[in-house]
Chain A
Amino acid sequence: MSFNPEDSEALRRAFSAMAEDGDLDTVDDERIWRAVRGELSREERHAVIEETARNPAMAESWRIAKALSDELGDLVTADQRLGAEEDAEVSARQTATPSWVATRPWVRRHQWSLGFAVAAMLALSIGLSQSPWMPGSVSQYRQATQDEVVSLLAEGERLPRQDFTLRWSAIEDARYRLRLLTPQLQVLLDVDDLGTNEYRVAAQQLSAIPSGSRLLWQIDAHLPDGRRLTSATFFAEMQ
């Protein structure tokens, strides 16, 4: 048989070639779309992926959803939701969320916003306690270690729209994910797999942001040993 299993593309083509063997009766395209977009819980996403292994019609629907989702990516990214879910999990572990929070539907719906708002408040309180005019303060730059990510911008630094460059402490061989949010907690930017510890935001992406706005930003550092470090939430003010 003229097939090389070492060839990954050949494996992918073969996997997609059996779409006609699928069982259409059990395909829920809406659920697949939501799984690809990160709108389902992790457990539900896993269940859908498992079903795609058994049903080639579902696998085909997933491929189409992924291709469309990739194109939609810069408008509304699944990563935002997935990242929000990870953040919510981390936040839940760190803060031992009271049970009433978990049972309120509106809280579940807005957990990303709430999580970020809580993080922002924490960052603000940390920022105030460490601001240069407070006694015994230590600059964020001097605090940088290989086990944390801190902002290299001065507290309250105003950045020009044409050179809105965010900088953070470097960790050896880490890759970074940067998320930037508006004051209304809308995701403005979500870039992944950055190899350097700074990012210049294109002026065009900031065109709708009024001068004087305080934007929030956060870094995930993916370390070579598989660990992920999430920074506090920082502020950057638009000049």
Chain B
Amino acid sequence: MANPETGQADGISLDELRPKLERAIYRICPAWLSDRRDDLVQMAMMKIMQMQRRQSEGMIPANASYLFRVAHSALVDEIRRLRRQRESPLEDSDDTVEPRDAHDPERDAVARQTGRAIKDCLGLMKQERRMAVILYLQGHSVPESSRTLGWKRKRTENLVFRGLDNLRHCLRKKGIQP
């Protein structure tokens, strides 16, 4: 159970939690939200503190894993909200998102176009290679992918290697090359 005075929840305090959240958010924050990273950290911390208050009332279980799950939910919701706002700025003029990379719409467009080509190429790939490549693109190391997929490391490594080769070949065929 969380201690309402210290914010301690089964082995993690708010002081310990905050830098972990900051690191995670700095890693995954889209470029257009880079100016909002501290806001995202603050928002996630507030959600967690709300949860801890409820935990102190015995309404929900307290543990670090649960608090991180809360942070995940809060972050995806907030990023989606800000993205909607970015796409329709008139909906909420008090809180307009000014994307850092607004000056380079061409780069944005190229990245999205390439992303769509990657998605198409993944759809053409054999399932096992596709799963290995997706995790690679999501930033997983081979040992991490191996455990997530439940496959041996060597097999995973081969599938990543072959899958990336397929992907690059497919992208070149679509005219996406240096």
Q: A residues near B, CB below 8 A?
A: 1-6, 8, 10-21, 24, 27, 29-30, 33, 36-38, 42, 45-46, 49-50, 52-54, 56-57, 59-72, 75-76, 78-79, 82-83, 85-86, 192-193, 222, 225-228
Contact = CB atoms under 8 A, between A and B. Distances in A.
8 contacts: A45-B149, A50-B131, A53-B131, A63-B138, A64-B75, A75-B11, A225-B154, A227-B152
Interface string B136-178: 1111100100011110111100000000100110011001111
A38 B148 contact: yes
Contacts of B178: 2-6
Interface stretch (B50-58, B90-98, B104-112): B104-112
Contact of B116 (A21, A33, A59): A21
Contacts of B113: 1
- Indicate the member of A16, A17, A50, A75 with the most B CB atoms within 10 Å: A17
B65 interface: yes
A79 B68 CA distance: 16
Given A3-B176, A18-B115, A53-B123, A46 B149 contact: yes
B83 interface: yes
B103 interface: no
B4 interface: no
Contact of A52 (B69, B114, B134, B155): B134
Nearest to B146: A222
B30 A64 contact: no
A53 B68 contact: no
A66 B138 contact: yes
Contacts of A70: 24
Contacts of A1: 110, 113-114, 175-177
Contact of A85 (B25, B150, B171): B150
Given A11-B167, A14-B114, A226-B154, A53 B65 contact: no
A226 B175 CA distance: 36
Nearest to B151: A42
Contacts of B154: 225-226
Contacts of B110: 1-3
Contacts of B20: 68, 71-72
A30 B25 CA distance: 18
Contact of B64 (A57, A63, A72): A72
Contact of A53 (B25, B73, B80, B122): B122
A5 B168 contact: yes
A62 to B, nearest CB: 6
A17 B167 contact: no
